[in-house]
Structure 1
Amino acid sequence: MQFHLDGFHPGDPRYSDPQDRVVPPPLKRPLPQQVDVMIVGCGPAGLNLAAQLSQFGSISTCIVDQKDDRLLVGQADGIACRTMEMFQAYEFADQIQQEAYWVNETAFWKPDAEHPGQISRSSKIQDVEDDLSEFPHVIINQARVHDHFLEVMRQSPGKVEPHYSRRLVDLQVDTEAEDYPVTLTFERAVNYSQYGKEQEIVKARYVVGCDGARSSVRTLIGRELVGDSINQAWGVMDVLAVTDFPDIRLKAAIHSNNEGNMLIIPREGGYMVRLYIELDKLKQDERISRDEITADYLISAANRIMQPYTVEVKEVAWWSVYEIGQRLTTAFDDSEEGRLPRVFLAGDACHTHSPKAGQGLNTSVNDTWNLGWKLAHVLTGRANPELLSTYSAERQHVAQMLINFDREFSTMFSAKPKSADNPDGVDPAEFQKYFVRFGRYTAGTSIRYNPSSLVGSGEHQSLATGQTTGMRFHSAPAVRLADARPVQLGHCVKADARWHIFAFAGQQPPMSDQCRVRALCDFLQNEHNSPLKRFTPAGADVDSVIDLHAMFQQYHRDIDVDQIHPLLQPLKGRYGLRDYEKVFCTDHSGAGDFYALRGIDREQGCLIIVRPDQYIAEILPLDDYAGLSRFFEGVLTRP
């Protein structure tokens, strides 16, 4: 899509008239007196959590923000492949792809060997390795991501709408109370009464602070950000510009000899571009003097760095300055020895770092992607409250990895190029190697959760060498049996807090007496220790808690639909309609054989248990019914 040609206008670019993009603000409503979950902060982490919880009409969710309306111009813009996979679970990834800029290549520029005062291109590389994900690395205004989350929230059973103009002033946890132990006091930024600012009090079962680096929630529960700054200031601006720089529509890392460094990120729409511009080094404990820095100052700095090229800015859509620092909170929740958590932190409230590697939004939404289904399990009675302790255990480790990576990446990017005059500098070629080496990390696909009650030991990893226990389920092409539709198998996992069992058949004839998938279905349907029988509530659809899928190696036309076990074609819903979308075959058209791409044992097959957040919990032999039952006994509770 091309847009922004005649100037930047926020909102949905599919509306040609910018006035039609204006979304009316929500009605001014009082806060509820009691809620299951109170979310403080309407950033990406908070909205992602609200979108997950909105899938449950039985969970009361409230989300508040100090701002007086939704975000229009966003700060974060990079969306990693792994985050796109998460967006697919909400079914808006395709819309993001259509609108966004795709980062296909990255260009590297360094001082020219013959004219050191000028820059020259050293190389171009592929940004994301082949088959890392079915989705690309994209660039899009953070506000557009917010819009999609808001739409999910409005359309879902919970019908969640934000409450704006609320400032949290107090939070108290009654450790003796069982129901609604957290009391929050908010101040309204509007509607002053004759006695002063209006206050509202809300009681909640759980609270999640997604309120940024200066988090009030974090302060009120006695946690703090710990870390340091590398005393480096950067400017950032989104501009509509005319330039002779040849790689303006590629992601480009520029190291100049003496004028500093710059990162160019093309923006969606075909015309806008983001410039990250290095400013002067700060002294110890020095802060940016924001009053002395203007948009014109940043434009001049960019032109000095880009010599012999120039950039003529026609319009500045947004700009800001910031200081690099890596900080991590002392804890991700308010738990203490002997007491389970009631208040959680997510996103910038618990980790801050530089934005140049594009990890801020991506790490933040994956914080609440981890927490959301766990809260839903506890509040709907699927799991005990002890499950919530796994949030901090899993995500604090990930955040520490992010801080370590960002510290090294920022230092390398900000360093002067190595030369005869600066022997201690960084060789731009080494920076490029570092960029490539950590490509999977920046794409979000290298995160691995450690063994726990939610992640198996990996004892049977050899059955699926390309699907690693503790890492996200790596999708690949498949063909749905009933309608012959080519699909991505991983797209079965939606943002509905269900568990998934993927049964990959061996080489036995499908649904024959020798077929282990058929035997598995008999066990799950009939045996008393079947996880489906033990954990599915009475009267609910058989797949409401654990969803079973099967894949066969045969060509889809060689299997008749009427051969399939009834458990893989369950009768569901009010009218008992048959679900035909649980059985798949490998794609024989050349798009890719799932078994070959993901290292599935062709002879034995296997079971892969996938968590609600798309991470692999366990890999088991197809006939390990005891292991299957034991795993779910350790996580779920009987209704």
Structure 2
Amino acid sequence: MAESKVDVLIIGAGPAGLMCANALAHAKIPVRIIDKRPGDILAGQADGIHARTLEILQSYGLARRLIDESAEIHRAAFYIPGLNGGIERLRRLPAITAPTTARFPFTVTLHQGAIEAIFHDDMRPQGLDIDRPTIPLSIELSEDEVELKDPQAYPVKVVLQHLDRSTNNTEVIRANFVLGADGAHSWTRKAMDISMEGDMSDFIWGVIDIDPDTDFPDARNLGVIHSAEGSMLLIPREGNLLRLYVQLSDADVIDPETGRADKARASPEKVLEMAQRILRPYRMKPIGDHIRWWTIYVVGQRVANKYSIQDRVFISGDACHTHSPKAGQGMNASMSDTHNLAWKLAYVLRGWADISLLKTYEFERRKFAVDLINFDRQWASLFSSGKANLKGKDDSLHEMFRRNGQFTSGIGIRYETSPIVESGHQSYAANLVVGERMLPHVFIHASNAGAKNIHDMLPADTRFKVLVFVGDIKQNETVAANVRRLGEQLEAPSSFLHRYGHGGSDKVFDVLCISTSSKHVTDWCDFPKSLTTHWSKVLLDDTDMHAREGGGGFAAYGIDPCVGAIVIVRPDAHVGLVAPPDRLDVVDAYFGSFMIPVAV
């Protein structure tokens, strides 16, 4: 058998696998990605991208194309049984609960194949393509403790089979790390004997995608519908498409001999017929009687008992958490998993961080999955039992939707204290919650007064962003003196920039200076050299030349302009540390807890 080595082998080319593969390819980490499917998904599957995932994709430069190709959902409409039969609208709400700090305060929908194509097109210029149809046959993990602790030891052996070859179709891969992103029936999870905790519910749902002929007034909004006939969810899709999630009865799909849902007992016509009954008095039928895609599923809420084996074999996405699709979390949670993992793998493989950094992947993402499962269990139960619970003006589902908007959109996700989340000096930037993602805000460049959203200064390039917030150096000499002193400390060989700056501090750290000084009297080169590595790296908390954008950033972040702050933003854009500007020892201790110093 042919044998080769690779730093990271990814099994599964769905959204989770592609997010990780693309991130590692751009980070110049040797990676291979395999998939058993012979080709791309052409219709159906997952389709919803929430606000935080849009921000993540924006950090990779992928959001604009996604938004351009998608349908945007700005509003949700709730329907209940009408007093005279049929359904009536209860209320409309923002699709993301207000108030929100989301940069993109809406959801977009696009079929999974088109979303995956965006990743494919971004990977190929990096020399990475999907190896398929290929499946893993076996996996072995070394038991040698020395090998397991050595990031360059290639302790994982995977045998692959290339299904499109009749001869020489097996291959041995020696990998440093393996990621199983291979779905709810994950081969990787089973091969590594990782168990799933949780259960399946009794709720059965049918799904159809149609090009609708309808007079339903909220067909281009998220529609949450309860009627005397049952429950339904409507999701507008790209073009004129509409997705319908329709609750089915056991008699429609349960095989009486096995007690399991059997797709062969259902049909898209049955799903459509139930949808039409639920929607009365409104009309809903597919143009040309053509149903684009359909499936059925039983709601289940389960989470893996562990996300890794020896921090060498990892699982992500549906391989480690499953839940109902009605809250639109599957693809979002999957991509967020590997967005969290990719930069950590890069740091370990480059020799910048101790391998223990990888433990934070399970610590951060499994807690989120447990919270998601608990939310989804309540949401799916309430949604599916709406026929019994939502009589008259009962607001229970609407209230749950409103209360959990920050969680379901992803913008409220918070990682707990760990070596890469240190909140001891939170008060210096009170509104930049350590563990949560960096808040978007518009500042202006000191160099040309052009407006810039801070998110666009935080690309997913594996570097830590060091945001140095300082006051007005033109009007306050004390502030100016403190800034000069800070600049000298940052330039010193003992500063964290040099102590952990492998291959040069700019390879690991990107330093940005944000000041309250006025655009009319301040130049970008007025600041110390360590804060002005490039003209684009100096920002002002001031408005643009027409006072249309900018200003109010220090107040929004809860930073005292007379004191300032240092904010460390992780490569995944979560705030890792807030520190006083005169306490570089705090910053040094933060990086020292997981990074390896430069060899002297």
TM-score, with length taken from structure 2: 0.93
- Match status 1:620 vs 2:575: no
Following superposition of structure 1 onto structure 2, how do residues 460-609 of structure 1 map, counting pairs within 5 Å? Answer: 460-509=425-474, 514-515=479-480, 516-525=482-491, 527-538=492-503, 540=504, 542-570=505-533, 579-588=534-543, 589-592=547-550, 593-609=552-568
TM-fit CA distance, 1:509: 3.0
- The AA in structure 2 aligned to 1:474 is L
Match of 1:307 among 255, 275, 280: 280
Following superposition of structure 1 onto structure 2, how do residues 274-293 of structure 1 map, counting pairs within 5 Å? Answer: 274-281=243-250, 286-293=259-266
Match of 1:39 in 2: 10
Question: Is the contact made by 1:31 and 1:163 (CA closer than 8 Å) also made in structure 2?
Answer: no
TM-fit CA distance, 1:469: 0.7
TM-fit CA distance, 1:519: 2.5
- The AA in structure 2 aligned to 1:598 is Y
Deviation per residue, 1:572-605 (Å, 9 max, x gap): xxxxxxx221111124225352122222223212
Match of 2:402 in 1: 436
Match of 1:167 in 2: 135
TM-fit CA distance, 1:394: 1.2
- The AA in structure 1 aligned to 2:557 is R
- The AA in structure 2 aligned to 1:522 is E
TM-fit CA distance, 1:330: 1.4
Name the CA distance, whole Å, in 1 between partners of 2:387 and 2:564.
52
Name the CA distance, whole Å, in 1 between partners of 2:409 and 2:221.
17
Residues 31 and 126 (structure 1 numbering): CA distance in 2 closer, same or farther, change over 3 Å?
Answer: farther
Residues 60 and 567 (structure 1 numbering): CA distance in 2 closer, same or farther, change over 3 Å?
Answer: same
Name the CA distance, whole Å, in 2 between partners of 1:131 and 1:482.
31
- The AA in structure 2 aligned to 1:172 is E
Match of 1:50 in 2: 21
TM-fit CA distance, 1:317: 2.1
Name the CA distance, whole Å, in 1 between partners of 2:329 and 2:386.
23
Secondary structure of the corresponding residue to residue 296 of structure 1? helix
Question: Is the contact made by 2:80 and 2:392 (CA closer than 8 Å) also made in structure 1?
Answer: no
Name the CA distance, whole Å, in 2 between partners of 1:286 and 1:473.
48
Name the CA distance, whole Å, in 2 between partners of 1:31 and 1:396.
36
Name the CA distance, whole Å, in 2 between partners of 1:295 and 1:34.
46
TM-fit CA distance, 1:281: 4.2
- Match status 1:255 vs 2:226: yes
Question: Is the contact made by 2:445 and 2:536 (CA closer than 8 Å) also made in structure 1?
Answer: yes
Following superposition of structure 1 onto structure 2, how do residues 63-82 of structure 1 map, counting pairs within 5 Å? Answer: 63-82=33-52
Deviation per residue, 1:41-62 (Å, 9 max, x gap): 00111000001110233x2100
Q: How many residues align structurally?
A: 579
TM-fit CA distance, 1:624: 0.9
Name the CA distance, whole Å, in 1 between partners of 2:525 and 2:456.
24
Secondary structure of the corresponding residue to residue 54 of structure 1? helix
Residues 638 and 183 (structure 1 numbering): CA distance in 2 closer, same or farther, change over 3 Å?
Answer: same
Name the CA distance, whole Å, in 2 between partners of 1:160 and 1:296.
41
TM-fit CA distance, 1:511: 9.7
Match of 1:273 among 236, 242, 246: 242
Match of 1:182 among 156, 159, 183: 156
TM-fit CA distance, 1:356: 0.4
Match of 2:203 in 1: 232
Residues 280 and 629 (structure 1 numbering): CA distance in 2 closer, same or farther, change over 3 Å?
Answer: same
Name the CA distance, whole Å, in 2 between partners of 1:264 and 1:586.
42
Question: Is the contact made by 1:418 and 1:427 (CA closer than 8 Å) also made in structure 2?
Answer: no
Name the CA distance, whole Å, in 1 between partners of 2:66 and 2:520.
34
Match of 1:15 in 2: none
Match of 1:629 in 2: 588
Question: Is the contact made by 1:481 and 1:556 (CA closer than 8 Å) also made in structure 2?
Answer: yes
Deviation per residue, 1:522-552 (Å, 9 max, x gap): 2111x232111112234x3x42101110111
- Match status 1:354 vs 2:287: no
Deviation per residue, 1:311-340 (Å, 9 max, x gap): 1212322211111000111110113xxxxx
Match of 1:3 in 2: none
Which sections of structure 2, spanning at least 5 residues, go unmatched?
Answer: none
TM-fit CA distance, 1:199: 1.7
Residues 229 and 427 (structure 1 numbering): CA distance in 2 closer, same or farther, change over 3 Å?
Answer: farther
Residues 74 and 295 (structure 1 numbering): CA distance in 2 closer, same or farther, change over 3 Å?
Answer: closer
Q: Which moved more, 1:618-627 or 1:350-359?
A: 618-627
Match of 2:365 among 395, 401, 404: 395
Name the CA distance, whole Å, in 2 between partners of 1:216 and 1:351.
14
- The AA in structure 2 aligned to 1:630 is A
Residues 389 and 510 (structure 1 numbering): CA distance in 2 closer, same or farther, change over 3 Å?
Answer: farther
Q: Which moved more, 1:243-252 or 1:66-75?
A: 66-75
Residues 568 and 507 (structure 1 numbering): CA distance in 2 closer, same or farther, change over 3 Å?
Answer: closer
Secondary structure of the corresponding residue to residue 327 of structure 1? strand
Residues 56 and 62 (structure 1 numbering): CA distance in 2 closer, same or farther, change over 3 Å?
Answer: same
Name the CA distance, whole Å, in 2 between partners of 1:132 and 1:512.
34
Deviation per residue, 1:394-447 (Å, 9 max, x gap): 11111100110000000010113457xx9xx79641110110000000100121
Deviation per residue, 1:94-127 (Å, 9 max, x gap): 22222222211100000012x1x30011111112
TM-fit CA distance, 1:517: 3.4
Question: Is the contact made by 2:473 and 2:517 (CA closer than 8 Å) also made in structure 1?
Answer: no
- The AA in structure 2 aligned to 1:227 is G
Secondary structure of the corresponding residue to residue 247 of structure 1? coil
Following superposition of structure 1 onto structure 2, how do residues 42-441 of structure 1 map, counting pairs within 5 Å? Answer: 42-57=13-28, 59-113=29-83, 115=84, 117-128=85-96, 129-135=98-104, 136-156=106-126, 159-176=127-144, 177=147, 178=150, 179-193=153-167, 198-257=169-228, 259-269=229-239, 271-281=240-250, 286-314=259-287, 315-335=290-310, 341-418=311-388, 428-441=394-407
Residues 510 and 263 (structure 1 numbering): CA distance in 2 closer, same or farther, change over 3 Å?
Answer: farther
Name the CA distance, whole Å, in 2 between partners of 1:524 and 1:635.
20
- The AA in structure 2 aligned to 1:609 is I
Question: Is the contact made by 2:74 and 2:107 (CA closer than 8 Å) also made in structure 1?
Answer: yes
* Structure 1 or 2: more helix by fraction: 2
Question: Is the contact made by 1:239 and 1:273 (CA closer than 8 Å) also made in structure 2?
Answer: yes
- The AA in structure 2 aligned to 1:132 is T
Deviation per residue, 1:218-237 (Å, 9 max, x gap): 11111122211111111112
Residues 627 and 303 (structure 1 numbering): CA distance in 2 closer, same or farther, change over 3 Å?
Answer: same
Q: Which moved more, 1:89-98 or 1:211-220?
A: 89-98
